[in-house]
Amino acid sequence: MGKFINAKFQSACFETGIVIKKGDPIYFDGKAYGEKSTVYKENKENTDFLAYIQANENAYFDNFCLTNNI
């Protein structure tokens, strides 16, 4: 499983070959992927979706606790 980080040095995207400058956001899983690569976009979409699900679960639990005086 990779991480979204900012590039620490200049490199190239493994998938597209586009130059990644220091400070650019990348997806890193042993290889660096720039913002225009499909790997970056797919993982970003999955991360956003999981955050949306977690927010809904937290809201449901908070509402449950309020209605049941927990």
- What residue segments make up the domains of the chain, in order of their start? 3-67
Q: What mean pLDDT value characterizes the chain?
A: 94
23 neighbors 7 (Cβ within 8 angstroms)? yes
pLDDT, one tens digit per residue, over 36-57 is: 999 999 999 999 999 999 999 9
Tokens of 10: 């200049």
Q: Give the pTM.
A: 0.72
- pLDDT score of 70 more than 90: no
Strands, E, within the chain: which ranges? 3-6, 11-12, 19-20, 25-28, 32-33
Tokens of 57: 């679960």
